[in-house]
Chains A and B, each alone.
Chain A
């Protein structure tokens, strides 16, 4: 079956521009997570969706970051007025809570480069 997919795979943008990253979770997975990985670092939690609501968005680093999820499926992460420190790989994961305790399935990520 299809895994988690993300688009685009790479995004190069200029400082100050807005970017939108997309995640398609595994069909039927009600939980969806966004993480980011800066160069040489571990994964940093950004936001968690259960269905279409976000009970935990405490990891969003600033109000320039927002995310939404519709139809308990696709999610988009939007970064407004991008800064160079936003350069990272943005990873999306999905899971089916209660079945495999917190086993999250990751997509390949979107590599964002802010010039």
Chain B
């Protein structure tokens, strides 16, 4: 069963506009959520994370929102830049530090100049 889902395989936005990437999860034991960015032929790189005790975390142009009651999180990128074009993965973990990450299928973001 797919415990973390990213329902949009792709998203295209104009440079300077906001990009919103969405992620849903089913496992209520998840207590930490991360977003990773992946360029072709490279490994995923960590972008931003949020603990389940928070509903928002901001880092520069990137903000992650968590709605626990809806089991939904989103990543906002504003303003979007062409260099942001990549595949974005949502990931979740449960329990103690060191546990596995469960990933969504990824969303290909394309930012057009």
Contacts and interface: CB of A to CB of B under 8 A. Distances in A.
A43 B44 contact: yes
A20 interface: no
Interface residues of A, number: 28
Interface in B25-56: 32, 34, 36, 41-46, 49, 51
B105 A33 contact: no
Contacts of A4: 43
B98 A50 contact: yes
B44 A97 contact: no
A31 B101 CA distance: 13
Contacts of A91: 43-44
Contacts of A107: 43
Interface in B53-106: 89, 91, 93, 96-106
A104 interface: yes
A84 interface: no
Contacts of A35: 101, 103
A23 to B, nearest CB: 11
Nearest to B97: A97
Interface in A44-85: 44-45, 48, 50, 56, 59
Contact of B98 (A31, A42, A106): A31
A106 to B, nearest CB: 3
23 contacts: A33-B100, A35-B101, A42-B105, A43-B89, A43-B101, A43-B103, A48-B99, A48-B100, A50-B98, A56-B99, A93-B43, A97-B97, A97-B98, A101-B51, A102-B34, A102-B49, A102-B101, A103-B49, A104-B46, A104-B101, A106-B45, A108-B41, A108-B43
Interface of A: 4, 31, 33, 35, 40-45, 48, 50, 56, 59, 91, 93, 95, 97-98, 101-109
Interface of B: 4, 6, 32, 34, 36, 41-46, 49, 51, 89, 91, 93, 96-106
Closest CB pairs A-B (n = 7) = A106-B43, A42-B103, A97-B97, A97-B98, A43-B103, A45-B100, A42-B105
